[in-house]
Structure 1
């Protein structure tokens, strides 16, 4: 899917310099190639997530920038869970992009030159229930075929840096070749 620039855009941006679950929204964030969001606790060339650092601190950081589609918040509101931008720890909240349907290696050109490459699906933790009791069951569940469905957004690495602000357009650039489903990262 390649939406028109007018339909796909940034709703909100967030960052936090500490390893807290939610991130405060900001007027803008700066993406740095190969590193992530300037001033964010999860930025770095190697893993920064606390539990992953314990396992192997030299692993490459495939989770530099976390993106969530705002349409998820509307769905959760219908199910009785109030979720706002930044509450699930994402750096960029989008609208008009089927993030979960993108293949591995898809790139998002955001604003005037920032580019992120999608590495996989976010695997959330039970801290999500701290936002709203039962929210985790809404966001991660087994479908009718017994497959795990994860709705908590996608992870990416920064290919080209730049400033990202709410209202910036997003252009999807699909990789050549066969569609490779997103792994959990």
Structure 2
């Protein structure tokens, strides 16, 4: 958790878009609403399930718990990438929920996002994008995983979470952050 940011600065935001796809494609289709299912993920999405659903992870161990049920991405990344010449929009980077006004990347592990009226997603870690992102648009992997001045990789491609409480989520819904008790764990790739 970055110490120079107050939790008040990152406690609330909005859902900008929601997306899902029933096949294992890189991008997801933007839809009017998604239904989150407790312990599973996004109804009708290929990555929903209690155990790992990402093909590379299934190949390693299909019995591992699915810590990547929901992919959330800050819409401000779309803006940054468009300024750099990439053509990206909601769902195109594989995210299920695109947010605005919320610093997802600096939330602590275990933070809970209250989405809309009922749904709650607990953040498990950072998305670690793979080479498929370059097949979508060349150079995109480097753009979403730059290095900081110390040479460390900065992962900007959103966060992953599990559904704690189900419910419908749609664009315009409020997102409120509930942080776990300190000490906070910095997000790591999952």
The alignment's TM-score, normalised by the length of structure 2, stands at 0.94
- What SS class does the counterpart of residue 152 from structure 1 fall into? coil
| Equivalent position to 2:92, from 55, 73, 87 | 87
| Residue in 2 that maps onto 1:163 | 168
Structure 2: runs of 5+ lacking an equivalent: 1-6
1:47 to 45, 52, 62: 52
Give the corresponding residue for 2:40: 35
Structure 1: any 5+ residue segments left out of the alignment?
none
Pairing partner for 1:123 from 123, 128, 141: 128
Alpha-carbon contact 1:99-1:154 (below 8 Å) kept: yes
Structure 1 residue 2: Cα displacement: 3.9
Deviation string, structure 1 residues 95-119 (Cα, Å, up to 9, x no partner): 0110000000000000001000000
Corresponding pairs, count: 184
Structure-1 residue corresponding to 2:16: 11
Report the counterpart of residue 180 of structure 2 in structure 1: 175
Partner residue, 1:138: 143
Work out whether 1:25 is the aligned partner of 2:25. no
Residues 2 and 170 (structure 1), Cα distance of their counterparts in 2 relative to 1, 3 Å cut: farther
- CA RMSD of superposed structures (Å): 1.3
Partner SS state of residue 130, structure 1? helix
Q: Deviations over 1:137-175 (max 9, x none)?
A: 110122111211110000000000000000000000000
TM-score by length of 1: 0.96
Q: Which residue of 1 aligns with 2:118?
A: 113
Which deviations, in whole Å up to 9, do the C-alpha atoms of 1:37-82 show, x marking residues without a partner? 0010000000000010010001000000000000001111111111
